[in-house]
């Protein structure tokens, strides 16, 4: 599980350096006013060859906004995506093979907050 935390820390740091918005891992505090960014672990799967081990993880990165229309969140997310897609994020003892968006997220929750973002696949291998 340590490698999941390392990957989460790496994508969190990449998102945090790409935006001036506050960035939170998993869930923002209830008292946080939008807009803000959330980075969350979604799923993971071990990868193996005869001699090597790796991990394939999905992390959701989204912007949350309370505006009437999602334009603010879309613009902030576009900036984040341009930094994250195919970025060369690093973390100890692992080599990142790729980071790619797998799907796009856009919805408005019952409290009328917009959630705009994507699910990113990180594939990395032990050095």
Number of domain units in the chain: 1
* Whether the predicted pLDDT of 1 surpasses 60: no
Is this model's pTM higher than 0.85 or not?
Answer: yes
Q: Read off the tokens for 10.
A: 């790496």
Q: How much is the average pLDDT of 77-92?
A: 87
- Kindly state the tokens that stand for 72: 């603010």
Sign of torsion over alpha carbons 23, 29, 33, 34: positive
Domain that holds residue 57: 2-126
Q: What is the pLDDT of residues 94-106, one digit of tens each?
A: 777 788 999 999 9
Q: Are 87 and 77 in contact (CB under 8 A)?
A: no
- 101 is written with which tokens? 């968006």
The CATH number linked to 62 is 3.30.2000.30
């Amino acid at each position: 599980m340590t490698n999941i935390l390392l990957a989460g820390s790496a994508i969190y740091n990449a998102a945090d350096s790409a935006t001036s918005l506050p960035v939170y891992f998993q869930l923002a505090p209830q008292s946080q006013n939008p807009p803000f960014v959330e980075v969350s672990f979604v799923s993971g799967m071990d990868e193996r060859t005869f001699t090597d081990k790796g991990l394939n993880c999905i992390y959701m990165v989204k912007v949350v906004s309370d505006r009437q229309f999602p334009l603010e969140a879309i613009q902030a997310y576009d900036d984040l995506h341009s930094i994250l897609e195919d970025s060369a994020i690093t973390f100890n003892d692992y080599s990142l093979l790729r980071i790619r968006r797998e799907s796009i997220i856009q919805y408005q929750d019952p409290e009328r907050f917009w959630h705009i973002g994507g699910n990113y696949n990180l594939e990395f291998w032990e050095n």
